[in-house]
Structure 1
Amino acid sequence: METFQMEIDKESKKCMFRTNGGNYWTLVSHGGIQSTATEVEANTMFHIEWLGRSVALKASNGKYVCTKKNGQLSAVSDSVGDDELFLMKLINRPMLILRGENGFVCHHKSSNTLDANRSVYDIFSLLFSDGAYHIKSVGGKFWYVSSSGLVCSDGDKPEDFFLEFLEHGRVGIKGKNGKYLRGDSGALKGDAATVDPSCLWEY
Structure 2
Amino acid sequence: MSDESIVYTTATGVGYTCTRRILLHCGVPPRRAVPIRIAHWVRDAASPRVDVTANQDEISDHETFQLEFDASTKRWYIRTMQDRYWTLETAGGIQAVGDKRSSNALFDLVWQPDGSVCFRANNGKYVATKRSGHLYANSDTVEESCKYFFYLINRPILVLKCEQGFVGYKAGSNLQLECNKASYETIQVERSDRGVVYFKGQNGKYWHCSSESITVDSDIPEGFFIQLREPTRICIKSANPSAEYLTAEKNGSFRLGHTDFQTATLWEY
TM-score > 0.5 by shorter chain: yes
1:85 aligns with 2:144: no
* Aligned residue type for 2:147: L
Question: Which residue is 1:199 aligned to?
Answer: 265
* Aligned residue type for 1:140: G
8 Å CA contact 2:235–2:264 kept in 1: the answer is no
- Secondary structure of the equivalent of 2:104? helix
8 Å CA contact 1:101–1:198 kept in 2: the answer is no
Deviation of the 1:158 alpha carbon: 0.4
Change (3 A) 1:11 1:151: farther
**Which sections of structure 1, spanning at least 5 residues, go unmatched?**
none
Distance 1:144 1:86 in 2: 27
Deviation sequence 1:21-65 (CA, Å, 0-9, x none): 111111111101111222333211111121233211111111110
1:161 aligns with 2:227: no
1:100 corresponds to which of 162, 183, 208: 162
* TM-score, normalised by the number of residues in structure 2: 0.70
Deviation sequence 1:118-145 (CA, Å, 0-9, x none): 1211111001111111000111111132
Change (3 A) 1:37 1:149: farther
Deviation of the 1:196 alpha carbon: 5.3
* Aligned residue type for 1:121: Y
Change (3 A) 1:82 1:143: same
Question: Which residue is 2:243 aligned to?
Answer: 178
Alignment of 1:115-126 (within 5 A): 115-126=178-189
- Secondary structure of the equivalent of 1:56? strand
Question: Which residue is 1:60 aligned to?
Answer: 122
The percent of aligned pairs where both chains have the same amino acid is: 38
Distance 1:190 1:179 in 2: 6
Paired residues in the alignment total: 202
- Deviation above 6 Å: which 4+ runs of structure 1? none
**Which sections of structure 2, spanning at least 5 residues, go unmatched?**
1-40, 42-62
Distance 2:73 2:162 in 1: 22
* Aligned residue type for 1:135: F
